[in-house]
Chains A and B, each alone.
Chain A
Amino acid sequence: MKTEGSLRRLETDVLIIGGGVAGSLAAHEARSAGLEVLILDKAKLLERAGSVGGGVDQYLTPMNSGAEWDTPANLLLHIPTLTDGLVDMEVAERVVHEMPAVLRQLEGMGIDFKDPDTGEYLRTRAFGLPGEFHLNFDGKRFKYRIAKAVKKGGSRFIGRAMATDILIDPDTGEAFGALGFNVRTGEWYVIRARAVIVATGEVNRIAKNASGLPFDSWHYPYNTGDGHAMAFRVGAELTNMEFVEATLTPRGFSVQGTNSYAGLGAHFVNRHGERYMFKYDPKGEKARRTMLIEGWVAETRAGNGPLYIDLRHLPDHVLDHFERTLGVDRETLPGFFAQKGIDLRKDLIEIVVSEVSIRRGGVYFRGSGLMVDADGETSVPNLYAAGDCSIVSGGIAGAAALGAVTGRAAAARSAQRRPLREVDDAAIESARERVTAPLSRGDGLGWREFEDEIRSLVTDHLGLTREDRGMQRALDGLLALGRREPELAASNWHHLMRVHEATSIRLCAEILARTALERKESRSGAAHRRVDFPETSEAWRRLIVVQRGAEGEVGLRHRDPDDRVSVAAPAVASALARG
């Protein structure tokens, strides 16, 4: 079978790049509207594609259970505060109002959100949310069941496919497809579509962690900002790219689960045995994630480390539940504790800060990525975005809700069935030459070395310590790396995928540097802590909008986040006014 270099031409109504939760829900909705749907993902199986292909144990949603707090409207009232004002409320409203319906839809796909012991929903409070909005559940098969439903519905899927370019109609400026290649066989895909949805997740592998292994990351290390980079190159606007997110993790293994510890009542203690979080936030261990990082950083700087999670005071039934669900988010976490010799019932668990990523700056409902309107459409016509690469990031629930909204909107657009634009074969050929150039460079620059350099610059100057000169130094280094991109070499298609991931990571790091330099204040705890501008300034309650300039440069503008606040939500508007 010789497919290397061969080219497959495909057509669809809705093309979805990224088959995680957001992409899958978008597919399900668009297909339910009767449209043809094609999903691409770098993973082989849709069932296992995306951040939670291995399982997830938390789902954030209002449920309209009858409790006063348990409504979309109440959650929305708190979003301006949760996001420190940097949110597009019109999009957030759409997403939050969608959430209860999407939950029912997921239950219809066979996902059981109830606790197996009690048969009831187990809801916990964490991350500064104004109620028990987190559903704690056994989501080991969560993504698997979604994928089964999507495939049963008739969406097509191509795995091991990396998209490299979004096709733009030069006359209208509209997106009309994408180009990509198979990461094993080298087969090419030229896909024409009536609407394109980018759902490629956040930006990982951008900073160092305690193990020193780049792929040992809290979040899925194969999400590398490819969608951010592709969309940036065709002129889409991004925002909130200056905010980074980290978590607290058992030392040596960057893994999900902080919310489970915090939600179930863990104590965070320093080496003196003191529960230190109340010094930094009245909510203690249940503060927003960015404040948990803030507390860890401050205690470590004050010499109060090592810092630990203490579960020993918890009642047996809570510990039983905890142990049973320990491997739900990450299959291997029980094995890690076993190989390390830790007994959760008897031992303290040392925690450290994870690597930083560009995700949502540690707060819900404020994503770092592509700006979208309430239909999920970016500033490029016919190009949509959902999930962690978009400006509304609310975990898997936010991804599912905006995914569904976006899928419906893209379907409505495609339903007009306008004729597909012809592709310009010369342009395709030139894009293929650019993408494959690293294959013919022999002993050029390796992606590992290139990425290591990015991680050093980001960790030292753009992570948890930010100051003008340091950030400028990092930016200079990132620009120098950019000039070396034409030296990057790959010995096969798999490595070619990694090379292009590395260039996406570098571009996102450059945008991070420029926007963090631009924002001359501190905001959202550890997400943007400038030692030279330690205060939060009301004048800086504005978005830094990123868009590619005429020469390909990273251009910056400012925008008032309230520009698009819906007039239909006076309560929200007044909450915003109160700040």
Chain B
Amino acid sequence: MAEPVRPARHEPHPDTPRDTHNPIDVDPETCISCVICDYVCPGDIIYAPDPTSNDLPIIKYPDECWYCGLCQQACPTDAITVVFPEQMLTSTTPPESLLGVLPEGYRAPSDRGIDLPEAGDRG
């Protein structure tokens, strides 16, 4: 009798935002449905399947992944690949937007403006 077809991905927890990227790609050909990825994940993101089933691990909270790769490192059959989403590989966030904003109409107290002061810069 043929093996039942193993779904390549499992559905994340229903609270997960739609279209969340799946960071943990599990190869259905090589995964042996053990519990190791579930145990090593520090974020409680991967859930082992029912041990009596032939299911793949469930990536239950994909948006909470740190991309640490402990699962990839620990997998005994090298069935796991950490796959980065487009927004990490080609970030479109302007770097300047991470610098913060000044309130409208703000005027610096001196001509120095936001230049670097010398004091305190000892290294």
A contacts, CB < 8 Å to B:
42-45, 48-50, 53-54, 81, 84, 128, 160, 183-184, 208-213, 215-217, 220-222, 251-253, 280-283, 287-288, 291, 294, 297-298, 300-301, 305-306, 327, 330-332, 335-336, 339-340, 352-353, 355, 446, 448, 459-467, 469-470, 473, 491-492, 494-495, 497-498, 522-525, 531-536
The docked-state distance in angstroms from the alpha carbon of A435 to that of B123 is 45
- Contact between A208 and B98, CB atoms less than 8 A apart: yes
The docked-state distance in angstroms from the alpha carbon of A339 to that of B87 is 12
- Contact between B100 and A332, CB atoms less than 8 A apart: no
The docked-state distance in angstroms from the alpha carbon of A531 to that of B114 is 6
- The verdict on B119 contacting chain A, using a C-beta distance below 8 Å, is yes
Given A42, A45, A84, A306, which contacts B120 in the complex, CB threshold below 8 Å?
A84
- Contact between B123 and A332, CB atoms less than 8 A apart: no
- Contact between B121 and A252, CB atoms less than 8 A apart: no
Apart from A336-B67, A465-B101: 19 A-B pairs, beta carbons within 8 A? A44-B38, A53-B68, A54-B68, A54-B69, A128-B123, A211-B88, A211-B91, A221-B43, A252-B89, A252-B91, A282-B123, A294-B121, A330-B69, A331-B68, A331-B70, A462-B100, A467-B106, A525-B121, A534-B110
Closest partner residue, chain A, to B60 (CB atom): A494
- Contact between A252 and B68, CB atoms less than 8 A apart: no
Given B13, B64, B110, B115, which contacts A215 in the complex, CB threshold below 8 Å?
B64
Given B40, B87, B114, which contacts A301 in the complex, CB threshold below 8 Å?
B114
- The verdict on B5 contacting chain A, using a C-beta distance below 8 Å, is no
- Contact between A44 and B84, CB atoms less than 8 A apart: no
Which residues from B are CB-within-8-Å of A211? 85, 87-88, 91, 93
The count of residues in chain B whose C-beta lies closer than 8 Å to any C-beta of chain A is 58
Which residues from A are CB-within-8-Å of B51? none
- Contact between A536 and B119, CB atoms less than 8 A apart: yes
Q: Among the interface residues B66, B82, B100, which one has the most CB atoms of the partner chain A within 10 A?
A: B100
Minimum CB–CB distance for A561 against chain B, Å: 15
- The verdict on B122 contacting chain A, using a C-beta distance below 8 Å, is yes
The docked-state distance in angstroms from the alpha carbon of A497 to that of B63 is 15
A305-B95 contact, Cβ under 8 Å, with A215-B64, A469-B103: yes
Minimum CB–CB distance for A199 against chain B, Å: 15
The docked-state distance in angstroms from the alpha carbon of A264 to that of B41 is 31
Which residues from B are CB-within-8-Å of A340? 84, 89-90
- Contact between B90 and A252, CB atoms less than 8 A apart: yes
Which residues from A are CB-within-8-Å of B114? 301, 465, 531, 534
Closest partner residue, chain A, to B96 (CB atom): A300
The docked-state distance in angstroms from the alpha carbon of A183 to that of B82 is 24
The docked-state distance in angstroms from the alpha carbon of A301 to that of B114 is 10
- Contact between A531 and B117, CB atoms less than 8 A apart: no
B contacts, CB < 8 Å to A:
13-15, 17, 38-44, 60-61, 63-70, 72-73, 81-85, 87-91, 93, 95-103, 106, 108-110, 112-117, 119-123
The docked-state distance in angstroms from the alpha carbon of A123 to that of B39 is 34
- Contact between B67 and A495, CB atoms less than 8 A apart: no
Minimum CB–CB distance for A50 against chain B, Å: 8
Which residues from A are CB-within-8-Å of B39? 44-45, 48
The docked-state distance in angstroms from the alpha carbon of A460 to that of B98 is 8
Minimum CB–CB distance for A550 against chain B, Å: 33
Pick 29 A–B contacts, CB within 8 A, sort by A: A43-B42, A44-B39, A44-B40, A45-B39, A84-B120, A160-B44, A184-B44, A212-B91, A216-B88, A221-B64, A252-B91, A253-B88, A280-B116, A301-B99, A332-B82, A459-B98, A461-B100, A463-B99, A463-B100, A465-B99, A470-B100, A473-B103, A494-B13, A495-B15, A498-B64, A525-B121, A533-B109, A534-B108, A536-B120
Minimum CB–CB distance for A208 against chain B, Å: 6
Q: Among the interface residues A54, A300, A306, A491, which one has the most CB atoms of the partner chain B within 10 A?
A: A54
Given B40, B42, B84, which contacts A336 in the complex, CB threshold below 8 Å?
B84
- Contact between A461 and B117, CB atoms less than 8 A apart: no
A251-B103 contact, Cβ under 8 Å, with A53-B70, A183-B44, A332-B69: no
- Contact between B99 and A215, CB atoms less than 8 A apart: no
Closest partner residue, chain A, to B89 (CB atom): A340
